[in-house]
Amino acid sequence: MTAEKGEAVEGLASGDTADTAANDNAPSYPEQIVARLTKRGLDFERACEYDDKNNTASCWLRHDLDRWSRVLHPVSLELEETKPGALAILSTRTCQREYSDEDELYDGAYVFCWLPKAHRCVQRINLETFEGLGMVLFYRPAFTLALALGRSVNLQQLELVGGHETPFSEEELCEGLDALERLRSFKFASLPIRRPCHDAWRTCSHGTPATSRPLRYPTIACRRTPANRLLRALQRCRALRELSIVENSLTKGNADSVARLLRFSYALTKLTLDRCLRNVPSIYPFAEALKTSTIPLELHINQCVTRFECLFEALANNRVALKHLNLNGCNIYGSNAEALGAALKHNVYLNKLELNGAHVDNHAVVALARGLETNRVLETLDLRNNAVSAGAVSTFCRMLCKNETLKSVMFSEVQGSEQER
């Protein structure tokens, strides 16, 4: 991207059409783009007709998606209606082709920056790297993305999914994130968080409105200091409902920060910590945080091998309003299974328990049954993909003959003869 054209793209996004040519009477490069695209039938003068308060008031743009998508196609994007009246700029799976005309790329960059700024109906941006295709929007993708985000008037959902080499996590991206006050859902996948991003994330979290929706951080390279700064910033987001941290190597300090967020949040209803607690020796901080949280919560801790006794002791505390516990792929056998069974005897909130592929053995099944004999709240129990015998399943069923609340129990791969089955 040349310096002149880079400045021109910045000018178009900010509304500044200052002349970059030597001749003051010559049209600026953004003006040239608008003139080119107007000849192709694109309307840059007609105002957006979307109305947040009137569901029947949809914008005219939704009836002209193909024309705008053709301009976005050279940069592997398209404009789609993802729900009635709401539009999204999405990545496409089309293979790149060589464009002899560089102007096609700048035309796409212009439209990408202009649409979220001019149209409240554009509420979602999804930039994704597809396997084998790559995802380089323009010569400086983060620069152009920052321009699009920073001027957005109603962006509510942002998804950045790519490989670890995609250059989204730059200072320029922070400039865009800093302006997203209406953002409800943020998915940041397979991209590292680098130091310059933290201030923008902190501002974004602090300014999130009461209608906030999930913020997800899958496959983030959580370095010690950056991750803690990010998690401390999230504590200011009082309306945060869902937090998902997936496939990260969290340190003990990171775990403590998440626990503090859980302890002081007034709106968090779902916490996911999948495949990220390998370096955390104990989940004690989460167990202690649960004891002070009275908000109904879903807790997902997948593929974690640790001692869960402290968590299950918290479950026995009637102040812990945990509604859904997912321990798929964990080590629920031996002392862990005994502690879980004991907790189920006293728990009065948990109505769904998932132990899919959690190494539950025959002894563990019986321990769970002992706890469920007197349990009157659990409705769903998932025990699929565990090596249990037909005899253990039979014992489990006999022990629960008086349980009137359990509605669904799922087994698979039951070991035994055909007669036992």
The 10s digit of each residue's pLDDT in 222-237 is 444 444 544 554 555 5
- Residue 316 lies inside a defined structural domain of this protein: yes
Q: Identify the pLDDT of residue 20.
A: 42
Q: Identify the pLDDT of residue 153.
A: 85
Choose between 1 and 94: higher pLDDT: 94
Strands (DSSP E) found in 265-357: 270-274, 297-300, 322-326, 352-354
Q: What CA–CA distances, in Å, run from 247 to 168, 262, 287, 341, 384?
A: 19, 19, 21, 29, 23
Percent of the chain with pLDDT over 90: 36
Choose between 65 and 132: higher pLDDT: 65
Give the other-Cβ count within 10 Å of 83's Cβ.
9
d(CA 226, CA 92): 32
- Residue 416 lies inside a defined structural domain of this protein: yes
CATH of the domain at 381: 3.80.10.10
Q: Identify the pLDDT of residue 94.
A: 61
- Residue 238 lies inside a defined structural domain of this protein: no
- Residue 337 lies inside a defined structural domain of this protein: yes
For residues 372 and 344, the answer to whether their CB atoms sit within 8 Å is: yes
- Residue 376 lies inside a defined structural domain of this protein: yes
Residue 21: pLDDT band by 50, 70, 90 thresholds? very low
For residues 4 and 20, the answer to whether their CB atoms sit within 8 Å is: yes
Q: Identify the pLDDT of residue 169.
A: 45
- Dihedral, CA of residue 158, residue 159, residue 163 and residue 167, to nearest 10: -10
Instruction: Mean pLDDT check: name the lowest of 76-85, 285-294, 345-354.
Output: 285-294
Q: Identify the pLDDT of residue 92.
A: 84
Find tokens 């503090």 and name the residue: 260
pLDDT tens per residue, range 369-383: 999 999 999 999 999
d(CA 39, CA 338): 73
Angle at 168 between CA 163 and CA 171, to 5 degrees: 150
- Residue 240 lies inside a defined structural domain of this protein: no
Out of 136-145, 231-240, 302-311, give the one with best mean pLDDT: 302-311
Locate all alpha helices (DSSP H) within 293-377, ordered by sequence.
Answer: 309-315, 335-346, 362-372
Residue 167: pLDDT band by 50, 70, 90 thresholds? very low
Q: What CA–CA distances, in Å, run from 399 to 338, 342, 347, 393?
A: 16, 15, 18, 10
Q: What CA–CA distances, in Å, run from 408 to 237, 327, 354, 381?
A: 37, 17, 11, 6
- Residue 384 lies inside a defined structural domain of this protein: yes
pLDDT tens per residue, range 381-398: 999 999 999 899 999 999
Q: Looking at the 3D structure of the chain, how many domains does it have?
A: 1
Give the other-Cβ count within 10 Å of 414's Cβ.
17
The residue segments making up the domain with residue 389 are 282-421
d(CA 165, CA 236): 30
- Residue 31 lies inside a defined structural domain of this protein: no
Q: Identify the pLDDT of residue 99.
A: 53
Q: How high is the mean pLDDT of the chain?
A: 77
Q: Identify the pLDDT of residue 418.
A: 62
